């Protein structure tokens, strides 16, 4: 019986490369001259920490990181930007978590989309992976096309096609 897995992962080495290139680009920009802006990637907790002087520079740094992620073929939707920045003395700090795995809310949405499609497939939730199986590979390809068109806040990868 053919099947595939739906998961949401970020390649840490590629993300590290994107952050390093963004860091070099920011250091070379004129509007960041004499700036005390710092970007740190915590690989253990998979989170970014940005420290800068004002909100305009913070938004510029986030835009540069997003553009570098796109150029490195990483989906910028994996950055969780919902947490607000906070001030610490004369600087602004923002912690950005990198989403990995499919949480319960998004797994419910994905399962509902698959069930509402009326295709003859079965979907099973296994920790942070959803396994979809069917008798025909064409049904699986239709599920993949359907999920690519849907509006889900996290990037999805379709792996382990058997």
Model confidence band, residue 104 (pLDDT cutoffs 50, 70, 90): confident
CA gap 42, 140 in Å, rounded: 36
- Where does a domain end: 98, 130, 151? 98
Judged against a pLDDT cut of 90, whether residue 61 lies above it is answered with yes
For residue 28, what is the domain's CATH number?
Answer: 3.30.70.990
Judge if 73 and 92 occupy the same domain.
Answer: yes
Judge if 87 and 16 occupy the same domain.
Answer: yes
Judge if 19 and 80 occupy the same domain.
Answer: yes
User: In this structure, what token pair is assigned to residue 94?
Assistant: 């923002």
Percent of the chain with pLDDT over 90: 32
Judge if 20 and 90 occupy the same domain.
Answer: yes
For residue 152, what is the domain's CATH number?
Answer: 3.30.70.860
Complete DSSP assignment for 68-134: HHHHTT--GGGEE--SPPEEETTEEEEEEEEP-S--HHHHHHHHHHHHHTT-SEEEEEETTEEEEEE
Residue written as token pair 């992976």 = 129
The residue segments making up the domain with residue 113 are 3-8+102-159
DSSP 3-state assignment of 53?
A: coil
User: In this structure, what token pair is assigned to residue 24?
Assistant: 């070099």
The residue count for the chain: 162
User: Residue 90: its pLDDT value, please?
Assistant: 86
**Averaged pLDDT for residues 32-45:** 88
Judge if 90 and 122 occupy the same domain.
Answer: no
Mean pLDDT, rounded, of the chain: 89
Comparing CA positions, the residue from 117, 121, 153 lying closest to residue 140 is: 121
Count up the domains in the chain and report the number: 2
CA gap 69, 27 in Å, rounded: 18
Residue written as token pair 């005390």 = 36
Model confidence band, residue 105 (pLDDT cutoffs 50, 70, 90): confident
Judge if 93 and 107 occupy the same domain.
Answer: no
């Amino acid at each position: 019986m053919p099947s595939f897995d739906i998961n949401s992962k970020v390649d840490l080495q590629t993300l590290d490369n994107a952050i390093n290139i963004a860091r070099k680009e920011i250091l070379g920009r004129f509007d960041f001259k004499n700036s005390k802006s710092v970007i740190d990637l915590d690989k253990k907790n998979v989170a970014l920490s940005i420290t800068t002087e004002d909100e305009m520079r913070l938004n510029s740094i986030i835009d540069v990181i997003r553009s570098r992620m796109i150029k490195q073929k990483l989906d910028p939707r994996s950055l969780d930007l919902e947490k607000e920045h906070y001030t610490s003395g004369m600087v602004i700090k923002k912690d950005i978590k990198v989403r990995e795995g499919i949480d319960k809310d998004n797994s419910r949405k994905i399962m509902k989309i698959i069930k509402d499609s009326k295709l003859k497939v079965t979907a099973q939730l296994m920790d942070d992976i959803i396994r979809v199986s069917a008798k025909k590979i064409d049904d699986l390809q239709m599920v993949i096309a359907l999920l690519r068109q849907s509006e889900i806040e996290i990037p999805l990868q379709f792996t382990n096609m058997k």
